[in-house]
Chain A
Amino acid sequence: MQDILNNTALMITLTTTIIALFAVGYIALIFGANRKIIDEQQKTIEEIKRSEQRYKALFENSLAGMMKFNFSSWVIVDTNQAMLDKFNANSIYDLQKKFTELPREMLRPIEISLTKTGMIDSHEITFSLETGIIRRFFFSARREGSEQLAHAVVVLMNSEKKIG
Chain B
Amino acid sequence: MQAPILLYVAEASCFLPAGAGLFQWKKLNSPLKILTLFFCFSVLHVIAEETLRRMSINNLFLQNIHQVVEVESFLYFFWTWSKQRILKDGIQYAAMIYLVVWTLNKVYFEQPEQFNESMSTIANFFLIVVSIFVLLELSKTATVSLLSHTIFWIGSGTILYFSGTIIIFSLSNTILQIGFLYFDIFWHFNWSLVIIVNLMFARSFWCKIF
Contacts and interface: CB of A to CB of B under 8 A. Distances in A.
A30 B136 contact: yes
A41 B143 CA distance: 8
B182 to A, nearest CB: 5
Contacts of B163: 19-20, 22-23
Interface in A1-57: 5, 8-9, 12-13, 15-16, 19-20, 22-24, 26-27, 30-31, 33-35, 37-38, 41
Contacts of B178: 5, 8-9
Contacts of B186: 12-13, 16
Interface string B143-160: 111100000000010011
Interface magnitude class on chain B: 20 to 34
A15 to B, nearest CB: 5
A24 to B, nearest CB: 7
Contact of A20 (B132, B139, B142, B164): B164
A162 to B, nearest CB: 60
A141 to B, nearest CB: 36
Contact of B174 (A8, A13, A35, A38): A8
B164 A16 contact: yes
Q: Binding site of A, secondary structure by majority: helix, strand, loop or mixed?
A: helix
Interface in B83-132: 128, 132
A85 to B, nearest CB: 42
B133 to A, nearest CB: 11
Interface residues of A, number: 22
Given A5-B178, A9-B182, A19 B143 contact: no
A12 B177 CA distance: 14
B146 A12 contact: no
Contacts of B135: 26-27, 30
A42 B132 CA distance: 27
A34 B146 contact: yes
B175 interface: yes
B168 A20 contact: no
B199 interface: no
A24 B156 CA distance: 8
Contacts of B164: 16, 19-20, 23
A9 B160 CA distance: 21
B65 interface: no
B144 A23 contact: no
Contacts of A22: 163
Contacts of A12: 167-168, 171, 175, 186
A38 B143 CA distance: 6
Q: Point out which of A19, A23, A33, A41 has the most chain B C-beta atoms below 10 A from its C-beta.
A: A23
A19 B145 CA distance: 26
A12 B182 CA distance: 10
B145 A30 contact: no
28 contacts: A5-B179, A9-B178, A9-B182, A12-B168, A12-B186, A15-B167, A16-B167, A16-B168, A16-B186, A16-B189, A19-B166, A19-B167, A20-B163, A20-B164, A23-B128, A23-B159, A23-B164, A26-B132, A27-B160, A30-B135, A30-B136, A31-B146, A33-B139, A34-B142, A34-B145, A34-B146, A37-B142, A37-B143
Going nearest first, the 7 A-B pairs with the smallest beta carbon separation are: A23-B163, A20-B164, A30-B139, A16-B167, A5-B178, A34-B146, A27-B156
Interface of B: 128, 132, 135-136, 138-139, 142-146, 156, 159-160, 163-168, 171, 174-175, 178-179, 182, 186, 189
